[in-house]
Amino acid sequence: MVFAASLSHASSLQLSSSFLHEQSSSSSSSRSNHLTALPLVFSPSTLSGKQSCLQKKLIVHAKRVSGLEEAMRIRRERELQSTSKFKKRPPLRRGKVSPRLPVPDHIPKPPYLSSKMLPELSPEHQMHDAEGINKMRAACELAARVLNYAGTLVRPSVTTNEIDKAVHQMIIEAGAYPSPLGYGGFPKSVCTSVNECMCHGIPDSRQLQDGDIINIDVTVYLNGYHGDTSKTFLCGNVSDPVQRLIKVTEECLERGISVCKDGASFKKIGKKISEHAETYGYNVVERFVGHGVGTVFHSEPIILHHRNEKPGCMVEGQTFTIEPILTMGSIECVTWPDNWTTLTTDGGPAAQFEHTILITRTGAEILTEC
């Protein structure tokens, strides 16, 4: 589940009223141009003696473009053109939100339920011994199974409230607590973000429509540890441009994870994600970030998904989430009066994927897989 905080300066962190992070940055992409090999021709009347002898040598040579390179260039241009032709769907509207579901008394509950205020971000990086790692694996594996099950429910006419109810039931039957429920007053057990909703969508009575996309964000609290993961699912016949956005977003997550290991700098994550997103003309949302996770739902380190100069390095035994959000257009957002549901300002679709990972000596272990 994405954490939100606000940065007043590049190096100082403050909490906001929702799981948000704001920081301005700029990025650019470049293309390499290949010149056609053409001679520089001079009129014989203007050349004399040694000049005319040099005529044959005055030739500009250019790098030859291979057939594969040219094919990839043409394919990329067609993909970008296809993306730009995307037709917006009708704006997302709030349905009826039903009362929160009960949790049996015997299930251990996280400490933040004692208050409706959003908990402060814990400054402690969450490091684990062998026992803690085993408990993290168990919580994350359960979260992954619940998410996979939730994905099987996605189809036209199903309501996000029905998905929430099914997720809630599966989690409590496993003896765990649905972490979002009651976190800062959040009224449901899972986040369901449809189409232009970037994140924190509250399940309601709205039926999913053919062609929708939906991010389902599952976090469970099991034996004192949180496991956090999300995925964007297709509902029915989704347009090719939106399917491509989803595919590239998942690839961005994979590339971000690929640079993680003991001693690696956190800023490498944002660099890898940004490079891949920009290749396809997509934008990386800067306001929402990954976070440390473990016995505490949200803690340091804050994981930025865009290019940045945030200091700090990963340490073996550390757990945190990486959860990039990509858009086809604006990365600016607007939040509904419920103080949770956050949408793109231009109504364009947003996609997100998330894993909880464990830093190892040589790489990263994805914990939220099953």
Residue ranges of the annotated binding site are: 200, 217, 228, 291, 298, 323, 354
Look at residues 324, 330, 341 and name the one whose alpha carbon lies nearest to residue 232: 324
Cα 87 to chain center, whole Å?
22
3 state DSSP class of 266: coil
Q: Are 310 and 302 in contact (CB under 8 A)?
A: yes
User: What's the rounded Cα separation, in Å, for the pair 83 and 285?
Assistant: 18
Identity of the residue numbered 211: G
- Cα radius of gyration (the chain): 25
User: What's the rounded Cα separation, in Å, for the pair 5 and 69?
Assistant: 42
Residues 6+ apart with CB under 8 A from 187: 97, 99, 100, 181, 202
3 state DSSP class of 122: strand
Q: Are 324 and 305 in contact (CB under 8 A)?
A: yes
Q: Are 154 and 233 in contact (CB under 8 A)?
A: yes
Positions at the binding site for a divalent metal cation = 217, 228, 291, 323, 354
Positions at the binding site for substrate = 200, 298
CA dihedral sign, ordered 124, 129, 131, 136: positive
